[in-house]
């Protein structure tokens, strides 16, 4: 009988490894965020049952008896650890429960909020990337020039201006004085302009600076000079070597700034009454709607994980070399 040595297992593909790592991260995020939200709500001052009853019936109609009825109905009189285990058990079956205030399905409402937040985040990110990358490339064409100095000033001003203050300024200028854009609401193309610009300004300045520094460095690299000596035109060298390698640096930086984008969504949605996850989270905290709080916080956290996964896969597609592993026999 011949005994053959076991065949070595080929390592998992780079994309599969990224997906596996992000799946583990997502599971950890679900557990930590759910527990943290529950602990924070339990530690807030005031009677949770009274707040929920006020959200249902209005403050004028709330009595001690109605609060006790809500407490018994929702099981708020149970020990905290039992309430948490019940939520985690429902979460394993993908059951997000119902809103304690409206009685509607949390999953149904969450889908509407998530789609609105994704629209706003996508519009803001597209604006920031187009404006920032374009300004960065133009500034890198003449380092130390007028445009380069203006880009530096833009970066400093954009980062020092809080989103809520910028949003108020945009509302005063374009809604109150000029009357060309709505200050709040949802449903028309004009409603998304001001909140998207508010989010995009801060990100665009950072993208401009990173793009400017990266393009200037790549243009001085040996492989770009060698490509020019082979007779390739300036436009072809820029597309094949400068632009692609700039994307390898810029994409991971976009992933780092996604957390800033998600944090800004919470503030900007509340300011412009945009019906997204941030707006829903603020209202759910006010009414102590625990299932909605946990669901919206989970959605925001998992949105960061999902967007970072897309960034990782995009970076891998542009330059897979750092993630390649040779088969060791």
Fold designation for 117-284: MetI-like fold (1.10.3720)
Token couple for 245? 């390698």
Region 18-38 average pLDDT:
85
Of residues 315 and 20, the one with the higher pLDDT is 20
Model confidence pLDDT, tens digit, residues 113-122: 888 888 888 8
Contact 158, 201 (CB under 8 A): yes
Region 199-223 average pLDDT:
77
- Interatomic CA distance for residues 278 and 120, integer angstroms: 11
Q: What is the pLDDT of residue 328?
A: 37
Tell me the pTM: 0.74
- SS3 percent helix, strand, coil of the chain, rounded to 5, is 75, 0, 20
High-pLDDT (> 70) share of the chain, %: 83
- Interatomic CA distance for residues 268 and 34, integer angstroms: 24
Model confidence pLDDT, tens digit, residues 3-26: 444 544 444 577 788 788 888 888
pLDDT at 127 over 80: yes
Region 143-153 average pLDDT:
78
Which range among 88-102, 216-230, 273-287 shows the weakest confidence by mean pLDDT? 216-230
Of residues 329 and 286, the one with the higher pLDDT is 286
- Interatomic CA distance for residues 93 and 52, integer angstroms: 25
Select from 66, 29, 36 the least CA-distant residue to 51. Answer: 66
Q: What is the pLDDT of residue 187?
A: 73
Contact 22, 308 (CB under 8 A): yes
pLDDT at 43 over 50: yes
High-pLDDT (> 90) share of the chain, %: 2
pLDDT at 124 over 60: yes
Select from 161, 252, 251, 144 the least CA-distant residue to 205. Answer: 161
pLDDT at 182 over 80: yes
What is the pLDDT of the chain when averaged over all its residues? 77
- Interatomic CA distance for residues 78 and 72, integer angstroms: 9
Residue that is written with structure tokens 């990782």 in the block: 312
Q: What is the pLDDT of residue 325?
A: 45
Length of the chain: 329
Contact 120, 167 (CB under 8 A): no
- Interatomic CA distance for residues 33 and 14, integer angstroms: 28
Q: From its phi and psi, is residue 144 left (phi > 0), alpha (psi between -120 and 50) or beta?
A: left
Model confidence pLDDT, tens digit, residues 258-311: 777 777 888 888 888 888 888 888 888 887 788 888 888 888 888 888 887 887
Q: What is the pLDDT of residue 145?
A: 75
């Amino acid at each position: 009988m011949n005994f053959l040595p076991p065949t070595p297992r080929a390592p998992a593909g780079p994309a599969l490894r990224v997906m596996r790592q992000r799946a583990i991260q997502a599971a950890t995020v679900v557990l930590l965020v759910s527990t943290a939200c529950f602990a924070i709500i339990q530690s807030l001052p005031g009677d949770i049952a009274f707040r929920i009853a006020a959200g249902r019936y209005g403050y004028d109609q709330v009595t001690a008896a109605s609060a006790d009825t809500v407490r018994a109905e929702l099981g708020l009189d149970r020990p905290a650890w039992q309430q948490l285990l019940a939520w985690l058990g429902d979460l394993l079956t993908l059951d997000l429960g119902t809103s304690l205030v409206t009685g509607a399905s949390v999953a149904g409402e969450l889908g509407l909020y998530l789609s609105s937040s994704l629209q706003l985040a996508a519009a803001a990110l597209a604006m920031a990337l187009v404006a920032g990358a374009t300004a960065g490339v133009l500034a890198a064409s003449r380092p130390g020039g007028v445009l380069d100095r203006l880009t530096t000033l833009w970066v400093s001003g954009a980062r020092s201006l809080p989103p809520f203050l910028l949003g108020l300024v945009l509302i005063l200028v374009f809604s109150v004085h000029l009357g060309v854009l709505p200050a709040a609401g949802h449903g028309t193309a004009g409603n998304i302009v001001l909140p998207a610009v508010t989010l995009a300004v801060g990100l665009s300045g950072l993208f401009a600076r990173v793009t400017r520094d990266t393009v200037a460095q790549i243009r001085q690299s040996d492989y770009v000079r060698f490509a020019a000596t082979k007779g390739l035109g300036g436009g072809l060298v820029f597309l094949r070597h400068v632009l692609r390698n700039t994307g390898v640096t810029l994409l991971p930086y976009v992933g780092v700034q996604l957390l800033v984008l998600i944090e800004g969504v919470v503030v900007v949605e509340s300011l412009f009454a945009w019906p997204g996850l941030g707006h829903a989270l603020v209202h759910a905290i006010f009414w102590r709607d625990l299932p909605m709080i946990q669901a919206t916080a989970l959605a925001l956290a998992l949105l960061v994980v999902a967007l970072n996964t897309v960034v990782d896969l995009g970076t891998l597609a542009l330059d897979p070399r750092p993630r390649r592993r040779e088969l060791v026999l």
